[in-house]
Amino acid sequence: MSINQLILRSLKKNLKNYYLYVFALMFTVALYFAFVTLQYDPAMDETKGSIKGAAAIRTASVLLVAIVSIFLLYANNIFIKRRSKEIGLFQLVGMTKGKILQILTIENLILYFSSTLIGIFIGFSVSKLITMILFKLTKVDGIASLHFSSEAFIQTLIVFSVIYLFITLMNWFFIKKQSILSLFRVKSSTEEKVKKVSIFQMLYGIAGILLIILGYYVSSKLFGGDFVTINELFLAMVFILAAVIIGTYLFYKGSVRFIFYLIRKKKDGYLNIHQVLSLSSIMFRMKSNALLLTIITTVSALAVGLLSLSYISYYSAEENAQYTVGGDFAFTNMEDAQTFKLKLTENKIDFTERKFEVIQVEANLENIIVSNLDENLLTNDLTSMPVPVISDQSLDHIDLSKGDILFTGYNDMLNMFFSFKDSGNLELIGKQHTIPLAFQGLQKEQYLSYYFTAGGSPSAIVDDTVFQTLREDKDPSIQGEYSLHIGINLVDESKAEEAAEIFRSTFTDDTYHLSRIERSNEQKHLYGLIMFIVGFLGLTFLITSGCILYFKQMDESEEEKPNYTILRKLGFTEEDLAKGIQAKQIFNFGIPLTIGLLHGYFAVQSGWFLFGTEVWTPMIIVMVLYTALYSIFGILSVFYYKKVIKEAL
Amino acid sequence: MNILEAVKIHKSYGNKFNKQEVLMGIDLNIRKGEFVSIMGASGSGKTTLLNVLSSIDKVSDGTIYIEGKEMTSMKERQLAEFRKNYLGFIFQDYNLLDTLTVKENILLPLSITKTPKRAAEEKFKTVAIDLGIYELKDKYPNEISGGQKQRTSAARAFIHEPSIIFADEPTGALDSKSASDLLNKLSDLNQKRNATILMVTHDPVAASYCSRVIFIKDGRIYTQLNKGEQSRQGLFQDIMKTQGVLGGVQNEH
């Protein structure tokens, strides 16, 4: 048999065994190519928006290369170890190491570059779809066209050729290092001896769980007011990261074994088949993979956390616009409002109008607000908070009696810092007089824009007579730049885009007139881009890490094959074993996934309110998606196990 | 009463153009409580015979009954069911699961048949004490010696009181002290529990512990020896003589 035949034969065999590797390779190439195409697409200039956007995309493509090359090198490492016997055999029959390397290199070359080319083709065909997704996310009206970017093609080829060189180099080192004997032994030397759980490991295990819980606990307190200065906050964050990451490592190193040990101890030797296959095997294997699993878990958590946060921002864009802009369009002077109204009428767009005079008044809110923050963190004194006040005259549906005051403009973020009581008394402090009023509650709708409300705090409504008194008595030093608010609301929301277009063409950016839809789009534009990039990286990471876990399981199933032979000889059926394997894979994939999601959950919980107003829906969507994609690899590995079990007898 | 009855079993490998016949019509009867060994040179088909009798491999022709049930026509699923209720195994390389403790390994067959925990505990205790491995119950296989491993394997074969126990070269990987220990224990259990054991071996010493020795050669039964009233030493001498006649390459005239 000639060398060429040898190469072809083993190529054929490998393709069957490593279809997932080939698939992952094609997929990562496709992702990378599509991403780089995006980078070079002239239609993208608007999406990138600014230099920052372009920099973000470039950074992301570097990160993408990092993830992909680590994955490919790691996967290659697994595969070359699997083939060590074959390499040993070649050496035994007198082939030189150089020749063996040549065989491997040519084989890899064919496999690698054909998948790369197919990957580029796939990437090319989906690049339009990806561009469309990005346009959709960032609310940019670009036209996605399918065009082949030669720059992207060259860049992709260069990047993957460099990775290929590294792989070849790695193979060379591997072959060089080995002697014939050690090649035959390589598999068994990585296996861990099965021993009893020592006291030391139990301590490890307990320490791991405690560290994780401690990290979670501190994270829940992070913005609760216990950490006052930036320094303390920073230290607390570092502490959380360290505690959780080290805790995760110890968890895999000891806790899993410790917990499983306790369960087994309770069974007192009487294990059923599912427990035999799941508990006892995982107990000894998770430890040797501790580092890998820790990395996978941490990056998963990072991906889930960032994705959730950017999705929260994105998701909250509209709501955010609701409480930062008072009305679909907001104006601060009569003339501009008039111009806009005329244009709306010209275009046959119906609208309603609300006009407020706004004054800033200091208020003593001590009796109606409970602060969730530490005293030190409060910049304002609760007894003299500046509050924008408007009259109930301009609101048809609200009519207050003389002694009442109503607050409007409630949102979740505010709730993190302050809780309002249901009722109570407060005082409005004018220059000369102080007016006591009865608090009537807090409503959700916001009537004023952010430059009146200090970014989004509630505003107050009082009876017109009270308002007139306050106006006479106002303190000029705390009044803002504007005192007039004209809110224009469209009757038909479907005309919003049209109206926004008119708004855009009429006013320049430097006026203080606002459009809700514009503001929401601006935010969506920014967070859409971030979400897209994080999602892209997250997906790549998910697929590569899923593949690595799958490859590990492939190895493991083959190592455990003799066990399946024994069990089948003892009279367990294939189905019995398959069920046990399912249980095992639920643990194998489920434990890192659950821990990753938990980490992500606590990370999101500790600071989501800085990003948006709605946490549950975006977070759950992200987590469910992540779990679903991840499970695919678990299911694939079960199929592989079934094949091994079938062959075992 | 016959526990195992094999009628004219044939086994061949390969396709019809290149056929390798390994078993050529073997008839075999084993009664309850017998301790039988099958001897023969390498390649004589003794391991194939054991695999076929123990349902791990399928016969090409012929029928096998165990406790009157015909086994040769059963489906894979029924065979698994059959193995877990009626058969026990001891292998040359122990075949213990190295992630389970000695006790967990021994209790495996009971967990398939869903024996209540209390009864399982009882059975475990008896058999483990009989085989002298009770103290090792919480150790893992790689913490104990080969002899102890093989006794664990034996305990696993005995615990669910199968109709017949198949042992494939049980002493093959043991030193002579451990081997004689194990064989003594096996023949004790054979007496005490009235257990039926079919053992494949090429070691005459091991075979001499049995009550009957069957010699096969080139896929056929060549002869058999009964221990009868004679001592183990006497049987050993007979085995040696038979092997002498049987063994090696014969001078064809």
Q: Convert the pLDDT of each residue in A471-513 to its tens digit.
A: 888 777 777 777 788 888 888 877 777 888 888 777 776 667 7
* Interchain pair B85, A281: CB under 8 A: no
pLDDT tens, A509-543? Answer: 666 778 888 888 888 888 888 888 888 888 888 88
* Interchain pair B97, A270: CB under 8 A: no
> Which one of A270, A280, A573 has the shortest CB-CB distance to B107?
A270
Are the CB atoms for B19 and B135 separated by under 8 Å? no
Q: Are strands A514-515 and A329-331 parallel, antiparallel or unpaired?
A: antiparallel
Integer-rounded Cα radius of gyration of chain A = 32
User: Measured between beta carbons, which residues in chain B are less than 8 angstroms from residue A287?
Assistant: none
Q: Does B83 touch chain A (CB under 8 A)?
A: yes
For the ranges A204-218, A319-333, B64-78, the lowest mean pLDDT is seen at A319-333
The residue of chain A nearest to residue B76, with distances taken between CA atoms, is: A573
- In angstroms, the Cα distances linking A370 to A66, A220, A415, A416, A417 are 48, 19, 10, 11, 9
Instruction: Identify residue A225 by its one-letter amino acid code.
Output: G
- Beta-carbon count within 10 A of B139 CB: 17
Token pair, residue A576, equals 């019995």
Interface of B with A in 118-157 (CB under 8 A): 120-121, 124, 137-143, 156
Q: Does B55 touch chain A (CB under 8 A)?
A: no
Q: Provide the pLDDT confidence category of residue A631 given band limits of 50, 70 and 90.
A: very high
Q: Provide the pLDDT confidence category of residue A372 given band limits of 50, 70 and 90.
A: low
pLDDT tens, A382-401? Answer: 777 788 888 887 777 777 78
Give the position of tokens 């990437």. Answer: A123
Q: What is the pLDDT of residue A48?
A: 56
Residue A164 host element (H or E): helix A150-177
* Interchain pair B97, A567: CB under 8 A: yes
Q: Which residues contact B33 (CB under 8 A, 6 or more apart)?
A: B190, B194, B195, B196
Give the position of tokens 């006291």. Answer: A199
Token pair, residue A309, equals 């946060």
Best A193, A559, A573, A587 residue to mutate vs chain B (most B CBs within 10 Å): A573
Q: For residues A415-422, give the mean pLDDT.
A: 71
Q: Is 60 exceeded by the pLDDT of residue A341? A: yes
- In angstroms, the Cα distances linking A501 to A37, A132, A318, B131 are 31, 22, 18, 91
Residue A429 host element (H or E): strand A424-429
* Interchain pair B100, A649: CB under 8 A: no
Q: Does B116 touch chain A (CB under 8 A)?
A: no
Best B100, B105, B110, B139 residue to mutate vs chain A (most A CBs within 10 Å): B100
* Interchain pair B124, A269: CB under 8 A: yes
Q: Does A272 touch chain B (CB under 8 A)?
A: yes
User: Measured between beta carbons, which residues in chain B are less than 8 angstroms from residue A574?
Assistant: 76
Q: What is the pLDDT of residue A191?
A: 47
Are the CB atoms for A455 and A472 separated by under 8 Å? no
Q: Does A270 touch chain B (CB under 8 A)?
A: yes
Both ends of chain B: CA-CA distance in Å? 43
C-alpha A452/C-alpha A432 separation (Å) is: 23
DSSP A197: P
Q: Is 90 exceeded by the pLDDT of residue A162? A: yes
C-alpha B52/C-alpha B11 separation (Å) is: 8
C-alpha B148/C-alpha B101 separation (Å) is: 13
User: Measured between beta carbons, which residues in chain A are less than 8 angstroms from residue B77?
Assistant: 573
Does residue A330 sit in helix, strand or coil? strand
More confident residue, A591 or B99: A591
Q: What is the pLDDT of residue A193?
A: 57
Are the CB atoms for A57 and A573 separated by under 8 Å? no
Are the CB atoms for A552 and A588 separated by under 8 Å? no
Q: What is the pLDDT of residue A164?
A: 92
Integer-rounded Cα radius of gyration of chain B = 18
For all residues of chain A together, what is the average pLDDT? 81
pLDDT tens, B27-60? Answer: 989 999 899 999 888 778 888 888 888 888 888 8
Q: Which residues contact A283 (CB under 8 A, 6 or more apart)?
A: A256, A257, A260, A261, A264, B99
Burial class (CB in 10 A: 0-12, 13-18, 19+), B118: exposed
> Which one of A195, A268, A565 has the shortest CB-CB distance to B140?
A195
Regarding the domain with residue range B34-61+75-246, which homologous superfamily does it belong to in the CATH classification? P-loop containing nucleotide triphosphate hydrolases (3.40.50.300)
More confident residue, A466 or A191: A466
Q: Does A572 touch chain B (CB under 8 A)?
A: yes
User: Measured between beta carbons, which residues in chain B are less than 8 angstroms from residue A572?
Assistant: 80, 84, 112
- In angstroms, the Cα distances linking A642 to A561, A582, A629 are 11, 10, 21
- CA-based nearest residue to A589, from A537, A535, A553: A553
Size of interface A-B (CB pairs under 8 A): 89
Q: Does A10 touch chain B (CB under 8 A)?
A: no
Q: Long-range contact list for A42-50, CB < 8 A, 24+ apart?
A: A43/A131, A43/A142, A43/A143, A43/A144, A43/A145, A44/A131, A44/A134, A44/A142, A46/A140, A46/A142, A47/A134, A47/A135, A47/A138, A47/A140, A47/A142, A47/A525, A47/A529, A48/A529, A49/A525, A49/A526, A49/A529
Q: Provide the pLDDT confidence category of residue A190 given band limits of 50, 70 and 90.
A: very low
Q: Does A569 touch chain B (CB under 8 A)?
A: yes
Q: Provide the pLDDT confidence category of residue A189 given band limits of 50, 70 and 90.
A: very low
> Which one of B80, B107, B143 has the shortest CB-CB distance to A572?
B80
CA atoms within 13 A on the CB side of B8: 2
Are the CB atoms for A129 and A170 separated by under 8 Å? no
Q: Is 90 exceeded by the pLDDT of residue A638? A: yes
B83 min Cα distance to partner chain A (Å): 5
Q: Are strands A459-462 and A385-391 parallel, antiparallel or unpaired?
A: parallel
Helices A84-92 and A180-190 meet at what angle, rounded to 10? 160
Are the CB atoms for A18 and A26 separated by under 8 Å? no
- Beta-carbon count within 10 A of A590 CB: 15
Token pair, residue B132, equals 């002298």
> Which one of A193, A268, A276 has the shortest CB-CB distance to B100?
A276
Q: Are strands A424-429 and A359-364 parallel, antiparallel or unpaired?
A: antiparallel
Are the CB atoms for B181 and B100 separated by under 8 Å? no
ipTM over 0.85: no
Q: Which residues contact A72 (CB under 8 A, 6 or more apart)?
A: A25, A28, A163, A167
Token pair, residue A581, equals 């394997």
Domain boundary assignment for chain B:
34-61+75-246
Q: Provide the pLDDT confidence category of residue A455 given band limits of 50, 70 and 90.
A: low
Q: Which residues pair with A279 in a beta bridge?
A: none
Q: Could you give the strand order of the β-sheet that contains B220-226, starting from the edge strand earlier in sequence?
A: B87-90, B164-168, B197-200, B35-39, B212-217, B220-226
